[in-house]
Each structure stands twice: as C-alpha cells, then as structure tokens.
Amino acid sequence: MKKTLGFILLFAVIMAAFYGLKSWIESGRYQVNAFRAEVTLESDGSMVVSEHWEVRYPQGYSVFFRDIGYRKYNPENPLYQDPLNRASFELLDANATGAQGKHISHVVRTSGERDERGDIIECPAGRSECESIFIWASSGFEREMHFYYRYRIKGAMTQYEDVAELNWVFLDQLESKVRNVELTINLPGIPENGIMAWGHGTEGNLDVLDGKVVATADVLKKGDVLELRLLLPKERFSVPEKNRIDRAMKDDIINYEYQLAKETNMRIAIAEGLFYGTFGMLALLAVFAYIAYIKYDKEHIPKFTGKYYRELPADYSPAEMSFLYYFRKINDEDLTATVLDLIRRKYFLLDQNHETVSKKDPDFKLVLNPEMDLKGLKSHELVVVEWFIKTVGNGKEVTLKQIENYPKTSYNNALRFQNLTKKFVLQAKIEGSKHDFFEKGVANEKSKMFVVAIIPVIYALISFLLKSRYALDTTFALVASLVALVLYIFYISSIDKRSIKGNEDYAKWKAFRQFLLDFGNMKDYPIPGIVVWEHYLVYATSLKIADKVMEQLEVRLPKTLDDESLATSTFLGMGYYYPRYRLWYTFGRINSSMSLARQNVHQTIVRHRSQKVSGFGRGGGFGGGRSFGGGGGGFRSR
C-alpha cells in the first residue's frame, strides 16, 4: 500500500512539474484573454459572424492571422453528405485597436496578397476553402490588443426534407489557449422548443433560449475545437438549391448525437511503436484465448445445412426468436412484431376508427378482444397489453396517435413509457431463456480461464518496476499489457454459446430469413395465401427485413383477394376495397407509430434533462466526439 501511494505521489509530482514547466514556457507567448462572437442566421441559410478577440502580448509581436474555413464536406463524417453542398466567404470588415479603443496603425490583407515578409498570405497547408486575414502593425502590437472581424458565410446551413441544420466549426487549430469564450447564435423568431443544439470539442456550457443559442467555455486548450450543431425548423429557411439535400436526416442526426453523448470522455489512446518483449506475452495470451474459443465458444455444427427453409422453423413468439437469433438481445423491431402478432392472433382487433387506409397517418384503433383469454399470452405479451391498452389507453382500446403522443404529454409519461419498454425487454428475455437456446455451465467452465489474466498483470508490473528503477521508456509494454488484459477479460466474459438445439433452430431461422429475401425470384414457389404471409411478416419484422418482404409481396400476391382471404386476414387485407389500396399501408402505419413513439420518448427526456446531460439535446454542456461540421480555422501570431 505504501509503495502504491508512493507511486501515486510520484506521478502527481511529475505531472505537477510537467505542467509547471509547460506554463512557464507558455508565459513567454501571447495569450488570448477573451473571444466573443455574435452569429446571426439569415433566411437564405447564410450566417453573419462578428468576432472580438482580446489578446495580451509580450514585446516583439506585430502580426495576427485569422484563418476562417468554410468547407462543409468532411470525409470523416459518417452521416450522409453531398459534396456539392458548399459555402462561400465574404469579408465585411476587419480592424485592430489597442486597449480602450486606442488607435493602432495597421494594415489588413487577405488570402492571395503578400504579408510583411513578401510571402503569399494563405491558410495552413492542407486546408482548402479557407480565407486567411492578415493584420500587421508595423510599429508592433500594444501589450493589450483587440481584433474585430465581421464576415458572412453564404450557404452555411443545410436544408433536409425534415429539418434545417447548421453544423459548424467556429474555432480549431489553436496556437494558444483561448480564455473566456462566448458565442451567441441569433435565431430570430424561433422559439426555444423549436431548437435542438449540441456542442463538441471542448468543455463548456450550451444554453438554448428563445431566439438564440449561447455557447460559453472558460478556456479552449490546444487541440480543442469549438463546434456546434443546430437543428431548426426547415420552414424558417429557404436556402439555395445547392444547399438542399432531398433526404430525411433528423432521426439519423439525433441518434448520432445520442451515441456521441454516451461515448463522452471514453476515448482510447492507441500507442505507437512496439517493445520486443511484449510479443511473447501477447502470443501466449492469444494461445489461451484460442483454447477458450475451441473449448467454450465455438458453435456446434447444425444438422440442417440448406440455404432455404420454406416454413416457420418453430412456433415461439418473434421476441423469443430474436432472443435466439441476436444472442440474447431484444430489439426495437420486436415490439412492433409482438403488436402485429397479437393482431394476427386476434388478441388485438384492428379497427379503422372511421379512417381510410390511404390517408396520411390514419389513426387506427387497437381494441382488446374480450373473447380471448389473456392466460394464453406470455409474460412479455401481457406487458404489451398492460402498456398500450391499460396504461396509454382506457383499459379496452387505444389509438395509434394516443400511443405516439403519450410520451410527449409529460416527462413522467415518457419515463413510464421507457420503463415499460425495459419491462417488455426483460420479460421477453425471461421467456426466451426458457427454451434452453444457450449452453448451461459455460460460465463455470470459462471462469477457469480468468486465471490467465495474471500474465499481462505480471508483465505490466515488471515493466513498471523497470521504468521506475531504470528510467526506461516502457510505454508500449504498459499500454500493450493493459489493452491485452482488458481485451482478454472482455472476451472471456462475453463467451456465450448456443446449445445444440439452439444452434439448430438458429440455422433454420437464418435459412428462413434468406428464403424471405429471395422468394420473389423463385418462379416455382407457389405463393401461400395472405394469412400465411401475415404470420411470416411478423417474424420478418423481428428479422429486420419486413420492408423487403413487402416489396416482393406486392408483386407476387394475387391482385384480387377472395372473400375468404379477406375474412381471415387481420391487418394486410384491411382497406382492400378502398381506392389505391396497398398491402403495406396498415403494416407501415403500425410500424411508423411505434417508431414515432420511441422518438417522442427520447426527445421528451432529452428536453427535460437538457441541463444535466452533457452535450446532448436542447442545451446542456459540450460533449465528446465530433459532429464533423463545416468551417473551422484558427489563428496565428508573430
């Protein structure tokens, strides 16, 4: 314990000495004491930016560069982009003063002109679509300098089918720390509840108010980025054609930002270089991992090896099938599949509620069938009845719009909806575990392999002792030992294996899924009736291929349905006699309703917790990760 405390104290002393030396070195350089910017979004998607820089200089400085990027396309952005979606730059004003507005004689020049040395003024190498603004005071800068910039970025915003977006890097490539940062984005006429905002790249606060978003940070360090993403009502803007993307992106952006928020401050540093003695430890650990795979993790070979399975492999529910297929996971699609299955089995009666199936978002009604005995339902199916009929509905029935709007009405309702989602998942897993889909006893057997984890621990300890005693650079050995230890423990912990029965069922479900994907091309396959396909479609939903199955059914099913088929159909045949009838109308409406309800849960909770969850939702703090916005640019001085 004493030695451990000694190492911790030594680490603290070394870190304090390192940062003390770093601060001493930086004290001889200039410091940016404040950065304030006012941004106004215009109706055509342009933004006008006014900046005020307060900089403290030692003697000898006379030049300040402000580099402003306006490139929107970022190849590292995982979301959809259009390379033709571009912006342009227009400088409106640039000047400099001393303290309290003192006049300082200076020259302002821009990219393509010459600086005081006769060199071409340009942004740092590797930066395209960037304007560099050069300010030079031939007599030298005062101790306190103020720099002012005003410029317009035309085409800064992007308009999608369902939302308008500003995704912009206002500062990066910092040459020194920037203190007292305040950035205000004015959004005239847009209320607080119409704005979603996220910040990235630094630690700070993000406040969303009526008509504006305010980002603040005590300090931006080297390597930090001041990056904001705003989602706004698209009706408020009329951007040029080149800045429009004909794609609905709101859900993708929200989900991406949600993942970034969850991953905040969880970054893994990957060391470069190798230390030769590490290879033996890694190889030995790999051997034991391979032994664990052979003994405990390698799947059984199924008896069924066919490409297609043309009937349902088993009669358990779609959620239980998903538990097997996706290795103990229950997905969002399983809720929709369960609702469809309850309709198919007539526990729920689907009522048109005086709506036409071809109407946009018809408000269908789910009615609990009083003639059906609920004792025939499994526990996760009973949760669905409790959830939709008794909690959201009136105990007898519920409409789709009631389901969609329930999470929007209050934070408590959103939490209740979310808790029932968790309850459904838990009960589905309990039902799935009753089938013995997975090997028993694997946990006890694989626990023996945890002893091997002592190998990287001992190796790391040896490396640390060598570092302490001989002042050797054993960074790679330490990092490699830690990574190997974590990965090995994670792998052993994650070992799970389907039983012989479970793997046999999995092979058949996999072949059934392939059959559903390919049956449209099977000319010799006699298409069953609509009732059979309702049954298949329930499982296709959990298998995440319902849309592809529906496309094929539109082509292969008979164009006319007989009265017997319509009488026995529960959801595919609904609205058959209406003009422009399509098979997918009812299915698509139920599916979209479930999806919208989940989205409303997410948005209501985010709105409520916006001041608590860092970097996500309408306000809060800045989060980790990047949204890979356009723009960028920093500053340089000499």
Give phi and psi for 230, each to the nearest 5: -120, 135
Q: For position 176, what pLDDT does the model report? A: 87
Q: For position 260, what pLDDT does the model report? A: 76
Q: For position 300, what pLDDT does the model report? A: 82
Q: Which amino acid is residue 370, in one-letter code?
A: P
Cβ contacts of 186 within 8 Å, gap of 6 or more: 38, 39, 40, 41, 211, 212
**Packed helices 500-518 and 546-556: angle between N→C axes, nearest 10 degrees:** 50
Q: For position 561, what pLDDT does the model report? A: 56
Facing residues of 61 across strands? none
Q: For position 8, what pLDDT does the model report? A: 33
| Separation CA 260–CA 240 (nearest Å) | 30
Q: Are 601 and 414 a contacting pair, CB within 8 Å?
A: yes
Tell me the fold of 30-264+623-637.
Immunoglobulin-like (2.60.40)
Using a 10 angstrom Cβ sphere, with 0-12 exposed, 13-18 middle and 19 or more buried, the burial of residue 131 is buried
Mean confidence (pLDDT) of the chain: 81
Q: Which amino acid is residue 51, in one-letter code?
A: E
Closest CA to 164 of 59, 240, 92: 240
| Separation CA 245–CA 77 (nearest Å) | 16
Structure tokens at 530: 């609509």
| Separation CA 533–CA 569 (nearest Å) | 10
- Within the chain, which residues score under 50 in pLDDT? 1-19, 21-22, 24-27, 264-274, 576-581, 611-619
- Residue 290 CB neighbours (<10 A): 11
| Separation CA 167–CA 404 (nearest Å) | 29
Transcribe 134-181 into DSSP letters. EEE-TT---SEEEEEEEEEEET--EE-SS-EEEEEEEE-S-SS-EEEE
Q: For position 600, what pLDDT does the model report? A: 86
Q: What is the pTM of this model?
A: 0.51
Query: For 243-279, how does the pLDDT look when each residue is reduced to its tens digit (9 = 90+)?
Result: 999 999 998 998 888 777 665 433 333 223 335 678 7
**Taking the mean position of all CA atoms in its chain, how far away is CA 637?**
37
Query: For 466-494, how does the pLDDT look when each residue is reduced to its tens digit (9 = 90+)?
Result: 667 655 566 767 777 888 888 888 888 87
Residue spans per domain, the chain? 30-264+623-637, 278-298+440-494, 299-439+496-610
Query: For 580-638, how does the pLDDT look when each residue is reduced to its tens digit (9 = 90+)?
Result: 445 556 777 788 888 888 888 888 887 776 544 444 344 455 655 556 666 666 777 88
Cβ contacts of 336 within 8 Å, gap of 6 or more: 541, 590, 591, 594, 595
Q: For position 30, what pLDDT does the model report? A: 85
Question: 62 by DSSP, 3-state: which?
Answer: coil
- Residue 35 CB neighbours (<10 A): 23
